[in-house]
Each structure stands twice: as C-alpha cells, then as structure tokens.
Structure 1
C-alpha cells in the first residue's frame, strides 16, 4: 500500500504558466502542490482541498488576487488559511491594502528561491504553533472534565470560578493574554482529585482527620499528573493545581507557603474557588447568601486570602455576579 503523502499542501495561483513553473521548481521537493490559473479556480480549490497555505498572484484578469483574498477571508471555511501575495507590484498602497485584507506576507517578482522557501516555511510553522497551542488547550480542558466526573463538583462550578479568576486577574493588572491563560488553566485546579479514593472524595458527611489528610494530597497529585512541561499552559496549570489551597497566613497546604511566596495565580484561584463553593448548593450543605460569603471573605482577609484580592473581589462584584448568573447550574 502506498504511503500517504502528509507534507503540507500549497496552492499556487497565477494566470501565467511560466510563473507557476518557477514556483513549482522551487517548492516541489518539500511540499505537495496544487495550481490554479484564475481567481475563480483558486476559490474552488481552496474550499475543496483546504491547502495549508496559498501563494497568490495579485494581477490576474477577471478577478484580482486582492478580490480572491477578500473572499477567502470572508468564509469561515477558508479564513484561517494563510495567504502570501506574490506580485510584481511594488507600491506601498498595494501592500497596505493586501495586509488590510488579511494577507500574512508579500513576495515580489521576479521571485528568489531562497526568499520563497524561507517565507513559506515561516508561515507554515506559525500555523503549526497555533494548532499545537489549541490542541494543548483542548487536552487541559478535557483533563479538567475528567476530574469533574469523579468529584461531586459540577462543570458549571469550574466555568464560574475560572471566569471569576479572569476578572480578578485583569483588575489586579494582568494583561489580556495572561488573564486568558489563567482562565484556561484554572479548570485544572482540582485535577489531583482523580487520585483520591472514592469513599473519601464522595463521602456526603464530614471527613475524619485521617480522611482529610488523604484529601490534602490532591494538590500534589495534580502537580504530578501535569508534570514538567515547557508549555506555558501546562506549567501554569501545574502551579494552580499545587497552590490553590495555600493560605496567606501560611496555614494552608501542601507546602505551608505564606503571603507573596504563594504564586499570584494560586491566590486568585483560591478566592474564586472558595466564593463559588460557598455560594453553591452541595449534597452536604445549602448555598450561602452573597452577603454571608462576602463577610466570610472579609473575615479571612490576611488569613486565608491575600487582602488586596479581597478588595479587588469586592470592587468587581457586579461582574462576578453577572458570571454567576450566566453559568447557573443546569
């Protein structure tokens, strides 16, 4: 049976056969290629073959490359495919227009083999990096779901507390990207509960001191499950899993960290998690009122919680309650 060719597919679009031949010569050793001689044909092939990249001539009769690019970017099916313009035009206005339409790069004719190879490789690796990031995120979210299946927490608890964490992080001074990273990793805080025996995890009443000691092992188990990884996402998930039960006054677990020694993400997840747990109904308790819960946060400011975060939590209460409303129990 013939091996399937898994090399990236590049669609080359140009109305001049000589130009297609030159690009074929440069790229055929490293990539699978498809060719189109008009804008119409390019649109059909992009939709049907889903290439990894499009090299697009600008000056074509009937439909210009700019129009092709605009159409590709307007369709959900093809909008994510990177487009590089290959053009003899050298006006800044054309370049500006091309970038505004969503192209990722320009190569000027007559093309240089080295430039074509380098630009194509760069943009394919950027796409690959984005795909990897998305895959890692999906794995993180699915692992979080696995922990929920075993615990008596609900998926909605995880949604709410991770959105609270993002609101608090932004108010604390995180930029959007860092706050989003926390939103995506906060659902992993209790992943270690996978390793806690069911008779303890699902016990409806109070735990005995011995059972509580076992339960206190879940942050370390979570950190061990996530392991060592250079990915920003998994490293932060590990920090959150390990430190969300540490307390500001040093009385938390597993490592008795104190004050600023507790990573800020762990401190944010702690307050988000406790607020949601207290204001939610559980098999073993009724939901607390917002007033009673806020009084508890105040009381625990400087003991369980970072005082600055308690202050921020109160300032952001409207947003917090909006999230609580939005992600109610099914």
Structure 2
C-alpha cells in the first residue's frame, strides 16, 4: 500500500515537472523539485543534485540531465533572488538554523550580507533566533557582524534585546563593534540597562562598552536625548500613535526609494510630528468631531507651528528636515491644508509621507469618539482623497505596501 502511494507520488512529480522543464519554466520546476525534496547545488561550475531514493523516475532524471545547463543558471539565480520583502532563501534558512541548506545556498552564490526590506541580514536572523552554529557558519563565509538594519541595530543589539548572553559573548569575542549606536544613539550597553540584563551589561563593560556612541557628535547626541525625553513625556495614546506613524512612514519612505538618510529623518519627524500638542490643553484632544468648535479648531491648528518652534533652538541641533515634517504634515495636495497652504510638490515629500501615515492611523485605530475601520476600508478612504488631500502617486504606493504596513497596526 505504502509502495503504491510512493509510486503515485513519483509519477505525479514526473507529470508535473517534465512539462515545466520541456516548456522552459525552469524556476517553477526548480521550486517544485526542491519542495519535493530534490536538492541542487553548483560546484566547480557543474550542476549536482540529489533526491530521496526512488523519488525521481527515470524519465524525469533524463529530462533534468537534458536541461542541466539551463538549471545550472537558474539554481545560481535562485540563490540570490529576493521575495516581496527583499529576503533571500538564505534569510529563510538562517532564521530556521538550517545549516545544510545554508551551506548549499552559499555554495550556489547566495551573499551573506544581503539585506531585506527591514535591513536584516542573515546574521541578524540567525542571532535573533538563537542559532549560534548558523551565525558561526555565516561568519566563516564572510558575513559582517556590524551591518545595521533600518533601525540602526547591529546583530549585537539584537542579541542584547533577545537576552542571549551566549550570543552576546560570541559576537564580542569575534570583534563586533561594542559601541555602535542605533538611530537613537543607543548602544548595546544602553539597551542592556534599559532591559534590566545585568549579566549582559557586565560582559559588555568588560569589552569597553559605553552608554553613548562616541562616533555621534555632541550636537546630535543632544537632539537624540531630547527626542527620547519627549517620547517619555507623551501620554500613552499619543506615544503609541507616534510610534505607529513613525514605523508606517519609515516603511513607505523606504518603498518609494527615498535616500537612507531621508528615511531616518522621516521616521524621527514622524515620532515628533505631534510634539506641538504638548503645548496645548489636554482636554481638546478628547473631543468628538461634532464637539470641535471653530475656536477649538484654531487652537488645534497651532500645533505644527508650536512644534516647529519648539525644535528650533540652536542648542537642540534639530535637523531642518525633521522640523519641516513637524511643520508641514497637515498640508494638503490641493493647497487647503495648514499652516501655510502649500500645494502639490511644494509640500516636502517627507511631510507628505508622515501626513498620509498619520491620517491612516487615525482611521484604523479606535478612539472613544471615533470607531476604527479595517485597513482595506481605510485604503479606500485614502484613495477617495487622492488629488485633494494626498498625492495620488503616494496613495498608490501606500496601497502597494498595505500588507506590510498593517504589521504596524494596533
């Protein structure tokens, strides 16, 4: 009975794969074969493959051999191809700690330092999932220990956050940068202190760890410390909203291919986009739409200017790009926004991105005075406002990454 079923599986594989290979659908055939358990590798420029005994019929074997030249190319391409998250098969294997698969993919041309949309390398994923042997393999194959993700976090930051003393010690013993700050200037030691991990703190300090990244200029340190203090002073609802808007904005900015430094400024600007509200009466933010009087509206419309001014001191050293996000995130594409009534492309793209993310978050998060709507319905609302409130092309881009953006929902 079991033999009959195995023979049917073998015949079924042949029936699926032979037409794909003869029809030159090589990538689809490769995926099907690997799912079935056939593994391909390239060594010395030649294609090699192995399969469980009896899985591949004689006809399918001959067809594979006849198409070996084309499959050789496809196998190498598949090792470096990326999915919708810009992740590779090596990312997946490293996350799972699958050492044989990692070896095979690297032999086929996979690059250990390829970064996905989050900026994660295979090393980030191996470290984050506690796979020490996978991390050792990657290092032996030339992987960097110090590449940063979109948040500026290196694998050492990740190891500290996951609480793996063994992984922290291994990274440090192999020369990981101990004082590299993330985009907030927070070093691994700072992260360990914040998470209450005294053993990791001690190991880091034994390797010369500092609280502040010595490479960050003093002026930038003052701004980063100010931003962290502001976030700490936000009420819970405003803080959660600002963090969500920052993550959505960072993702959208990355999708529309803003330069990396601009993506960082977009995120920081989003975190601070409502800083001006701290200068306004608290009760005004709990009013339902039908309770907001013209006088209330005038007060509410002051918060972009209030925030812009608050960030303007020379001592604070706030980048102009961040201040412009705070000032212009309520401008509208048709010129009916505030505070300056900018129109179209005159609105800085960073402020447009944050304004769109801000509006979306207000739609999908339930408030005491305003029920939430599903992400798809929120997108339809944004589409209805394309050309009036928002740049139509930016709304279209938002729709293209909605599945990714919903990760940052409440």
Per the normalisation by structure 1, the TM-score is: 0.57
1:8 maps to none
2:337 maps to 252
* TM alignment of 1:265-276, pairs within 5 A: 265-276=350-361
SS of the equivalent of 2:383 reads helix
Q: Which residue, 121, 142, 155 being the options, matches 2:239?
A: 155
Q: Distance in 1 between matches of 2:173 and 2:363?
A: 46
Cα displacement (A) at 1:77 = 11
Q: Which residue, 113, 133, 138 being the options, matches 2:225?
A: 138
Q: Distance in 2 between matches of 1:145 and 1:309?
A: 31
Report if the CA contact (8 A) 2:286-2:369 is conserved: no
Report if the CA contact (8 A) 1:246-1:253 is conserved: yes
Q: Which residue, 257, 268, 275 being the options, matches 1:191?
A: 275
SS of the equivalent of 1:129 reads coil
Q: Distance in 1 between matches of 2:331 and 2:226?
A: 26
Q: Does 1:263 align with 2:348?
A: yes
Report if the CA contact (8 A) 2:276-2:308 is conserved: yes
Cα displacement (A) at 1:194 = 1.5
SS of the equivalent of 2:354 reads helix
Distance 1:245 1:227, change over 3 A: same
Q: Which residue, 349, 358, 366 being the options, matches 1:281?
A: 366
Gaps of 5+ in 2: 1-168, 181-212
Report if the CA contact (8 A) 2:327-2:339 is conserved: yes
Report if the CA contact (8 A) 2:245-2:357 is conserved: yes
Distance 1:310 1:179, change over 3 A: same
RMSD, aligned CA: 2.9
> If each structure's strand is expressed as a fraction of its own residues, which one has the higher value?
1
Q: Distance in 1 between matches of 2:395 and 2:232?
A: 28
Cα displacement (A) at 1:180 = 2.0
1:40 maps to none
Q: Distance in 2 between matches of 1:166 and 1:296?
A: 21
1:80 maps to 179
* Structure showing greater relative contact order (alpha-carbon pairs closer than 8 Å, 6 or more residues apart): 1
Distance 1:157 1:198, change over 3 A: closer
SS of the equivalent of 1:287 reads coil
Deviates more, 1:277-286 or 1:137-146: 137-146
Distance 1:232 1:266, change over 3 A: farther
Report if the CA contact (8 A) 1:219-1:242 is conserved: yes
* TM alignment of 1:80-229, pairs within 5 A: 80=179, 127=214, 129-130=216-217, 132-146=219-233, 148-149=234-235, 153-204=237-288, 206-229=291-314
Report if the CA contact (8 A) 2:288-2:370 is conserved: no
Per the normalisation by structure 2, the TM-score is: 0.46
Gaps of 5+ in 1: 1-69, 82-125
Q: Distance in 2 between matches of 1:298 and 1:252?
A: 18
1:39 maps to none
Report if the CA contact (8 A) 1:137-1:184 is conserved: no
Report if the CA contact (8 A) 2:312-2:318 is conserved: no
Cα displacement (A) at 1:167 = 1.0
SS of the equivalent of 2:223 reads helix
